[in-house]
Structures are given as structure tokens and as C-alpha cells.
Amino acid sequence: MNPFIQLTQWISEERLAGIPFAQGAVLGTVGHDGIPKTRMLGVHFDEVGVPRFHTSPTSRKVIDIGINRYASITFAFQRSLRSVSIEGVLDEIPHGQLISDWLALDPKFRRSYLIFGHRSGQSADSDVLFEQLLKELPPGAENEIPLSFIGYRFSHVSRIAYYSVGSGNFAEHVVFTGDGNGKNWLYSRVVP
């Protein structure tokens, strides 16, 4: 049983239904202050469907994850009225994977990222300056991965919840709870 398969299927169906950023999800973290924080992200998947995402080391989520590796992401599929919520523990994406992820990104985005990635979250003094810096970037600079491109993957997943509001009288709510090793999953249907 692989509880991630359904997630990648639902993303494909949402994309086919016309949603361009169906792989977008909201990441929730909690830092030292105990205050929950959420933000949207683009999510990628490995060959068995384990989610991962990329970010910048200067962002608040990185500070949170450095203190508390427990996190949750929720995909909200508004076209198909479905959601998937995943809870687990994050680990850094290994460097080899990061390099291939970086090179798979659109070169135009990579060039912009070279300008903004290491400044993410700081006060944006002048967009004009950013445009100027982008113009001055040497050709091919985007082919080398910057230190500002980092990411996390769910190394342990404790719970995956699928919720679907169909045309019937009752929504469907299915929950997988795991032992954290991704091998043994308990499947249960839950009252919606």
C-alpha cells in the first residue's frame, strides 16, 4: 500500500481540470515561539511520491524547521473539492537531488532566483536595482546551483488524510497513519 499514489493522481486530475499550479500546497511550521505559521509552496515528489519543497535559507520557515522538524502540508484542490493533508518530519534534501532539482527549473526563474534567493524575507529597497542586477548577471550563471537554494523532504510521515466532497450526501474522509518508516500503514475511513 502506497498512500502517496492517490495524492499524485489527485494533483494530475486537478491540473487536467484547468488549475495550473495544482502542486501548490500550504506548509505549516511551528518555531520556538509556539506560534504556527503557514505559507504556500510548490511541491515536488520522488519516485514513490514522497513530497519535498525548495526554499531560501533566509526565510522564516527555515528558522522554524531548524528548531522543530515537525511540519504539515495541505493541498487544497478547489476545482475538485478535495484536500490532502500530510503530517511528518522534515529532513534536508541531499545535495545531489538539489542539483538536479535546480537544473530542472526554468532557466529564467533560476536567473531571478540568483538575485532574490539569498535576500528572501529582507526589506525590498528597490525593484529597479533588482532588474539592474538581473541585467548584469553573466550568461550561464544560472547553471551553477547557489547556496541560497535549499530544500526539505518528508523523511517520516505519520499521517495522510484525504478528504473529498463529492456529489453524494456525505463527504469521504480517509486517513492513513504510519509507523514513520513508510512501510506499515493503517487505513481508516473517518466520518467526514
Ligand X SMILES: Cc1cc2nc3c(=O)[nH]c(=O)nc-3n(C[C@H](O)[C@H](O)[C@H](O)COP(=O)(O)O)c2cc1C
Applying CB under 6 A, the residues found at the interface with ligand X are: 21, 24, 37, 39-42, 53-55, 59-61, 121
- CB 21: neighbour CB atoms within 10 A? 10
CB of 139 to ligand X, least distance (A): 25
Going through 78-171 in order, the beta strands assigned E by DSSP cover 82-92, 150-164
Nearer Cβ to ligand X, position 147 or 191?
147
Nearer Cβ to ligand X, position 15 or 60?
60
Nearer Cβ to ligand X, position 41 or 84?
41
> From CA 139, how far away is CA 48, in angstroms rounded?
36
CB of 186 to ligand X, least distance (A): 31
Q: Which H or E run includes 75?
A: strand 70-77
CA distances from 148 to 59, 65, 67, 126, 185 (A): 10, 16, 19, 20, 36
CA distances from 143 to 73, 101, 108, 115, 117 (A): 30, 12, 11, 14, 15
DSSP structural state of residue 93: P
Contacts of 169 (CB under 8 A, 6+ apart): none
CB of 117 to ligand X, least distance (A): 9
CB of 141 to ligand X, least distance (A): 21
CB of 63 to ligand X, least distance (A): 8
- Backbone phi, psi, residue 28, to 5°: -110, 130
Nearer Cβ to ligand X, position 40 or 129?
40
Nearer Cβ to ligand X, position 59 or 155?
59
CB of 9 to ligand X, least distance (A): 22
Contacts of 144 (CB under 8 A, 6+ apart): none
